[in-house]
Structure 1
């Protein structure tokens, strides 16, 4: 439904495979990395250095990006599971650690404490979180106060780096119509550079 909401607002969706594609196309003006289980594919994700480098370079150049839960994990520096540490994209300087038991399972209510690529300061967003990981050593500024749920740390979610945001919260765009509108506005601005 999130992709449909973006399409209805005029977005053209291109699918990128972070396991097999060797980089981002030059014509992309935004990236949405959805949830999933990157820890299961961490060896393959680490092996695709070209994609990791391409994604990091483009985000550091200002490409708007959303990393949602598994996407957040992929955008971090590394993922450690069962004693094996795998290098990821490194947009966010935190290291993901996998745990045996869930670290969060909850509906989430957020309030934007600062503006970001998906919300203006003061915006209220709702979603859910479900993850077995935590993030250590993350120094990025966090942009959402968590009113319900856990977030990344200290009842905050939404790590920010340039025009990228990474969050544990899974948003449903039909419940948060301002999110796709703001993201597409940022993508259009990037494409006009």
Structure 2
């Protein structure tokens, strides 16, 4: 087959049920035997984890603010080479992005960049004729956004469904499905978003239930026929290479927040990635030349992380040895002296001489652009990389003379210093960087690991 089908699942607002709809469609199409390639709009790690499990293929993030249009299209083309269907889940409401005054970073913006039609999910609770007005408002707000149809979610009864069908008949917008309220199949949430797959039981049963819900209330065969055929791009042939450096990547229930493209770019730059668990492994992998400590939920596993004293000591010694470490958000918290949560203080690795303390509400949220103020394992001074920040913890005991290597800019805020560095080789930050916004960062990190390796030999 020389083409595939593709569409974007967007919502009127966060919480309208678009993730459940997207997961249900992915699981249902995969159950039909189709190769379903999932994508997620925006800076998200939790939804992609569910997408990966529901579809059987790794989900990739497509963010219109962090990444240029050409990069977005390259990532999309790379991972749809052998797909039968591409399903992209949007972020927040359809038109929500970097600011209220521009579309950058929104689902609408992404749909234009990758030229996919939009299916709009509407939470129809307590709505009747007003649903038509809402749909018309979304369709008329930006006529360049191709809204292919609407799916009503949380429909209360057969009578409610008839009323909604009559209402949508007042518009020219196709009705693609009406999904009844099924709170029992929704995925539970907590701070930062949905509960991650690593912390849930009976996942396959949950995805199967979502697939049943979609199949019973949407005609997926008609939906695919309705969507345009998308020509496949020429194949991206991966060039085999002998790894230059070995990088340990922390990955377990506590550390699971990684952009798949970051990992690919590290491999492309010459790294062999060696995954390990700070929770379950007693020692670091043998022969590693650098460490990548991603984000996650270390606060939920703080006791077990604190108890694993041997690997904590090895990580501290690794940093002091001069080998590079890059840590972001949860991984950064793990490298500090301690983590404070639930009125208890848990000793961590002690690489950074301060601690993190969990709060009841988020302490930072939004896009960030960083410029390196000095040479670091991520590149030379003046290197610019984009990312995102979202966390509930804050720093305590930060020394006044703590070295930094980031100048951070954010919307409606002046520059600030962050990106804490110790030993000239370990960089930690609350900001999750997307290496595809500056692929040289991945190359620089691998080269820094190689240089440390050569020095040790």
Q: Which residue of 1 aligns with 2:446?
A: 184
Q: Which residue of 2 aligns with 1:94?
A: 354
Q: CA RMSD in A?
A: 1.4
- Alignment map for 1:72-87 (pairs within 5 Å): 72-87=332-347
**Which structure is higher in helix share?**
2
Separation (CA, whole Å) in 2 of partners of 1:176 and 1:16: 26
Conservation of the 8 A alpha-carbon contact between 1:157 and 1:169: no
SS at match of 1:189: helix
Q: Which residue of 2 aligns with 1:172?
A: 434
Q: Which runs of 5+ in 1 are unaligned?
A: none
- Alignment map for 1:47-66 (pairs within 5 Å): 47-66=307-326
Following superposition, the deviation at residue 93 of structure 1 comes to 0.5
Following superposition, the deviation at residue 8 of structure 1 comes to 1.3
Conservation of the 8 A alpha-carbon contact between 2:335 and 2:350: yes
Conservation of the 8 A alpha-carbon contact between 2:278 and 2:311: yes
Q: Which residue of 2 aligns with 1:106?
A: 366
- Alignment map for 1:19-30 (pairs within 5 Å): 19-30=279-290
Separation (CA, whole Å) in 1 of partners of 2:308 and 2:323: 20
Separation (CA, whole Å) in 1 of partners of 2:370 and 2:318: 28
- Alignment map for 1:14-163 (pairs within 5 Å): 14-139=274-399, 140-148=402-410, 155-162=416-423, 163=425
Conservation of the 8 A alpha-carbon contact between 1:104 and 1:149: no
Question: What TM-score, normalized by structure 2, do the two folds share?
Answer: 0.41
Following superposition, the deviation at residue 24 of structure 1 comes to 1.4
Following superposition, the deviation at residue 40 of structure 1 comes to 0.7
Conservation of the 8 A alpha-carbon contact between 1:73 and 1:96: yes
Structure possessing the higher relative contact order (Cα contacts under 8 Å, 6 or more residues apart): 1
Following superposition, the deviation at residue 119 of structure 1 comes to 2.3
SS at match of 1:144: strand
Conservation of the 8 A alpha-carbon contact between 1:2 and 1:174: yes
Following superposition, the deviation at residue 155 of structure 1 comes to 2.0
SS at match of 2:349: coil
SS at match of 1:107: strand
Following superposition, the deviation at residue 116 of structure 1 comes to 1.1
Conservation of the 8 A alpha-carbon contact between 1:173 and 1:180: yes
Question: What TM-score, normalized by structure 1, do the two folds share?
Answer: 0.94
Between the two proteins, the alignment pairs up a number of residues equal to 190
Separation (CA, whole Å) in 1 of partners of 2:369 and 2:297: 23
Q: Does 1:10 align with 2:249?
A: no
Conservation of the 8 A alpha-carbon contact between 1:112 and 1:123: yes
Q: Which runs of 5+ in 2 are unaligned?
A: 1-260
Following superposition, the deviation at residue 146 of structure 1 comes to 1.0
SS at match of 2:435: coil
Conservation of the 8 A alpha-carbon contact between 1:149 and 1:155: no
Separation (CA, whole Å) in 2 of partners of 1:9 and 1:118: 13
Following superposition, the deviation at residue 18 of structure 1 comes to 0.2
Following superposition, the deviation at residue 149 of structure 1 comes to 6.5
Conservation of the 8 A alpha-carbon contact between 2:385 and 2:434: no
Following superposition, the deviation at residue 128 of structure 1 comes to 0.3
